[in-house]
């Protein structure tokens, strides 16, 4: 679950991370009033769950409260990568001497939280990793002990030669790590971590992603979810108990099981296509899941072909077939569909489909190649 910048900053403040004051506004009047309370130049920042807000014009410097109102008027309602800006963060503008990056991710290979720190902050860390990887230091944290003070100091000195600044950065990293662990994060980052001309080290931006598995026991974190800033298809899928992630391709994939779903996406790429999504209907044999899955997939205008790839173990393929028939009767398809079914009740499933004008394949490679071909032809 993504949370907004202002929410991430509120979390980090509770752990002692130094962050300039700020409040959220939903109207230009509120933005002006907050700027007057701050009493200094402010930044007005769009609050949406996508990167590149600044490049899209969603982050503006405002020297006066009147300017804050003007910029908020322009930003509120703006479309940034398909999401509408409904609120802005009005926060005190910081004097920036230098910018650094500090982030923590989960490394599933080592089963540890890994720090990534770089003196090249203020830009996408992916760009730094691709062009100047030597500017990034990686440090896996031993979960038994957490980030020890001397380790934090070493990371601080990778960023700054000044001892005072390095110690301040090390303290912030320990606070960030504690927040990361105690809130069940899969990612937490400060970009940029700023040194002001006066030598003060502060965080002027923050991002946190909460592992969905944490939400069952932490209703306070679940309350931070803002569905208006999420892709409508992902909200719809979550409410239908489907595992769904929207991508940028044109082959809509409906699969049972996360492993098979990943293999299917890899095979789509292998045969020259681009998957439009990750969608796992799970092991349930409920035809309603298939109906919901098809409804979500067909709502994506980028999808030029739909690929069903079902391996029937726990999942009964005849239930999937019934779901396909029901869904297509309710909402006739406007794009071609390729169905691969094998496993439990396969013969029954094939008969159900053939009786309703569908054909089913059993070979996975053949099905994927056909779906990619249809998607390519449909995209022309």
The CA distances from residue 1 to 76, 89, 103, 183, 224, in Å, are: 23, 20, 17, 12, 9
Residue 323 burial by Cβ neighbours in a 10 Å radius (0-12, 13-18, 19+): buried
The DSSP secondary structure of 191-218, one letter per residue, reads EEEEE-TTS-EEE---EEEE-GGGTTT-
Residue 94 tokens read as 């910081």
> Which of 6, 101, 160, 177 is the catalytic position?
101
Instruction: Say whether 148 sits in a helix, a strand or coil.
Output: coil
Please give the Cα distance from 333 to 348 (Å, whole number).
23
The DSSP secondary structure of 157-188, one letter per residue, reads HHH-SSHHHHHHHHHHHHHHHHHHHHTTEEEE
For 256-270, give one letter per residue: b (16+ CB within 10 A) or e: bbeebbeebbebbee
What are the beta bridge partners of residue 209? 2, 187
Instruction: Provide φ and ψ at 23, rounded to 5°.
Output: -140, 165
Residue 101 annotated as catalytic: yes
> Which of 151, 189, 230, 346 is the catalytic position?
189
Residue 189 annotated as catalytic: yes
What are the beta bridge partners of residue 208? 188
Catalytic residues, which ones?
Answer: 101, 189
């Amino acid at each position: 679950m993504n949370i907004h910048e202002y929410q991430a900053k509120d979390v980090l403040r509770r752990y002692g991370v130094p962050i300039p004051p700020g409040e959220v506004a939903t109207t230009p009047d509120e933005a002006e009033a907050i700027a007057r309370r701050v009493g200094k130049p402010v930044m007005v920042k769009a609050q949406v769950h996508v990167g590149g807000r600044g490049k899209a014009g969603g982050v503006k410097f405002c020297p006066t409260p009147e300017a804050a109102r003007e910029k908020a008027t322009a930003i509120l309602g703006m479309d940034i990568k398909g999401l509408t800006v409904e609120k802005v963060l009005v926060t005190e503008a910081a004097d920036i001497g230098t910018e650094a990056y500090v982030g923590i991710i989960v490394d599933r290979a080592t089963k540890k939280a890994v720090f990534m720190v770089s003196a090249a902050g203020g830009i996408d860390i992916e760009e730094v990793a691709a062009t100047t990887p030597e500017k990034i230091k990686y440090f896996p944290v031993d979960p038994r002990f957490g980030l020890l003070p001397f380790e934090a100091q070493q990371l601080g000195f990778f960023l700054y030669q000044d001892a005072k600044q390095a110690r301040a950065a090390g303290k912030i990293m320990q606070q960030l790590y504690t927040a990361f662990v105690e809130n069940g994060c899969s990612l937490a980052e400060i970009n940029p971590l700023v040194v002001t001309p006066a030598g003060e080290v502060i965080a002027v931006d923050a991002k946190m992603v909460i592992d969905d598995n944490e939400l069952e026991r932490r209703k306070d974190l679940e309350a931070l979810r803002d569905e208006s800033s999420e892709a409508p298809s992902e909200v719809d899928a979550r409410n239908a108990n489907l595992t769904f992630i929207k991508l940028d391709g044109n082959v809509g994939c409906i699969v049972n099981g996360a492993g098979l779903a990943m293999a299917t996406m890899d095979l789509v790429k292998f045969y020259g296509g681009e998957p439009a999504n990750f969608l796992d209907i799970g092991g349930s044999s409920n035809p309603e899941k298939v109906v919901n899955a098809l409804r979500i997939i067909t709502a994506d205008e980028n999808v030029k072909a739909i690929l069903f790839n079902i391996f029937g173990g726990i999942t009964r393929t005849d239930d999937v077939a019934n779901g396909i028939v029901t869904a297509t009767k309710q909402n006739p398809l406007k794009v071609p569909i390729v169905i691969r079914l094998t496993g439990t009740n396969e013969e029954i499933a094939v008969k159900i489909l053939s009786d309703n004008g569908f054909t089913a394949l059993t070979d996975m490679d053949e099905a994927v190649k056909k779906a990619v071909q249809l998607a390519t032809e449909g995209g022309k």
